[in-house]
Amino acid sequence: MTLILGPCCRQQARRFITASRPTVWTARSFVTEASSSVEEFDVVIVGGGPAGLALATALASSKPILDTTSIALIEAGDLSRVRDWSQPGGTFSNRVSSITNVSQAFLDGIGAWAHVDASRVAKLEDMQVWDGLSDARIEFSASELRSLSGSGRVPQIAHMTENLNLQRGLLRRLNDFPSVRLLDNVKVDGIKAEEADQGGWPTLKLSDGKTLRARLLVGADGFNSPVKKYAGIRTYGWAYDTHAVVATMFHSPPFPGTPMTAYQRFLPTGPIAFLPLSDTAASLVWSTKPHLAAALKATHPDVLRKMINAAFRLPDTSMKVLYDVILDTKSQVTPEEMGETIRWREDSHGIAPLSSLSSVEAEGSSAVGGYGGEVDMPPLVTGIQPGSVAGFPLRLSHAEVYIGEGAGARTALVGDAAHTVHPLAGQGLNMGLADVQALTKCIENAVQHGADIGSRTALLPYPRARYFENHKLLSATDKLHKLYGTTFPPVVWARSAGLEVINELESVKSVLMMNAGSSPSSNAGQAGEASSLWDVAAAGVEGVSRAVHSVEAVARGVGNLGMALIQNALRK
């Protein structure tokens, strides 16, 4: 006998067991006594990081989905450690993210932002980015965004917070939805597909002996995604010859009225970023060569502190000297020796002791260093939080497709399982949240139309909405990494000219900002008039690229060979 249940009866149907498997998918909750150990869910999410938790929260926050759809999330780690996470006052986790206004609006819309600890969120009001060789600089500020919006309702460029603060907020929001099953401390031992005549659903074997059957299996399980492997989805990309060093830094408080500012300097070895977390703390993300990253992690914290201050201020010729000092394996440099070396290098460049470009004279005093002065620099780092220094390799990757087909059907990828990006744009988390938003909308639409949420037809709008948007940002950050990784003088001149032209021409910056704020991937109803700093930065890369092409036209007289080398460097 076949039973066909409407959406309002599906959850009740899950409480019963019949003698035979139903022949229509709308009655999928009935199981045989022989298969009673297999639990069935409409959506199974593998991965309890920010993307996986955000997807579970977004699905549960949609009433049409929650009323008709069973949801489970699998996480290999202990979610109670995230749920109960806390930090001593004034200290911070070393894994932080920049959350754009668009992403914040999405999190607010699903009820999660209210559970994020606001005292651990810094509102970025300004962003300073400059070339480590030419000092060409560009600035983005919330005041410019406010003037562009015409409403005065853009109080910040973005929000900085710890990943654990966001994950804890998402878990607290999920407490409002007890029907969502959270299975933690358990790994996926294997995934196999049913026979086509049984529906072709993915079946997951867990390390605790449980077996789950999923109408739709979502991989939010990182670059080495078991779900991606099961679906047979290939990934293209490459590892950068770069590692990121992260740490939590302490500094003196700013002058009253100083905007909360993020700083990023593009050194030939990789960018270094100062990302504020509070008035007296900031997060370091220093992307550099692997051997330099290893030396920075191994050196004395006071030496690292001095290196950070110098890396934002000293010319590249002097930074090369400092690199040689910390790479010297015969004797580990002491903080005093490093301080004397930096003092000597500053003297050689004619840097005045009380200048904002000096990282020596103000140390140990109440001076705030880079605030104010002739050049806007980050405040001097006065300490490194113990145990916060860490590092990891960087790579670019992009899955060929976001949804599986054939033997890997009924699968979808979000977040790092679908793509990984260089952190110079601080955009990895935002890309994942945009994936989550698009996939949730796709599932909601399928539910409202009575469609099979795991079918390819139902899932196709998701990659159509996200694949090209992600590809553009991946491409832009990759080009930016390569563009600023060269010291070839014509390329340095061209990129610097482009950056300075964009910064000086307010109308050009306005166009870039307006284009970023009207990104087709954002939900205007949720995001309002908020704009994304990093979307602006990505658009800026295209602007710099156009400027380089303009410079090429002007500089043809220098010689076709030189410009050909520039083009070749940009294409690599």
Q: pLDDT for 338-384, tens place per residue?
A: 999 999 999 999 998 888 888 875 544 444 455 445 678 999 999 99
Strand, coil or helix: what is 447? helix
Whole-Å CA distances, 506 to 161, 171, 172, 196: 30, 43, 43, 59
Q: Which residues contact 427 (CB under 8 A, 6 or more apart)?
A: 98, 421, 473, 477, 534, 538
Which pLDDT belongs to residue 147? 59
pLDDT digits 0-9 by tens, 283-320: 999 999 999 999 999 999 999 999 999 999 999 999 99
- Residue 38 structure tokens: 């297999």
Higher pLDDT, 535 or 351: 351
Of the ranges 322-336, 341-355, 446-460, the best mean pLDDT one: 446-460
Whole-angstrom Cα distance, residue 122 to residue 74?
31
Exposed, middle or buried: residue 123 (CB in 10 Å: 0-12, 13-18, 19+)? Answer: middle
- For Cα atoms 111, 113, 118, give the angle at the middle one, nearest 5 degrees: 145
CB-based contact 31:40 (threshold 8 Å) = yes
Return the closest-CA partner of residue 434 out of 512, 536, 540, 535.
535
Whole-angstrom Cα distance, residue 487 to residue 492?
6
Q: Write down the mean pLDDT value for the chain.
A: 83
**What is the DSSP-derived secondary structure letter of residue 403?**
B
Whole-angstrom Cα distance, residue 457 to residue 551?
47
pLDDT digits 0-9 by tens, 25-84: 333 333 333 344 899 999 999 999 999 999 999 999 999 999 999 999 999 999 999 999
| Residue 195 pLDDT level (bands cut at 50, 70, 90) | confident
Residue 171's H or E segment, with its range, is helix 163-174
Strand, coil or helix: what is 102? helix
Whole-angstrom Cα distance, residue 548 to residue 407?
47
Q: What is the CA radius of gyration of the chain?
A: 26
Which pLDDT belongs to residue 32? 38
Whole-angstrom Cα distance, residue 504 to residue 157?
20
Which pLDDT belongs to residue 534? 45
- Residue 82 structure tokens: 């995230």
Residue 122's H or E segment, with its range, is strand 121-124
pTM of the predicted structure, to 2 decimals: 0.84
Compute the 3-state secondary structure of the chain and give helix, strand, coil in percent, each to the nearest 5.
45, 20, 35
pLDDT at residue 437 is higher than 80: yes
Which of 193-207, 337-351, 423-437 is predicted least confidently?
A: 193-207
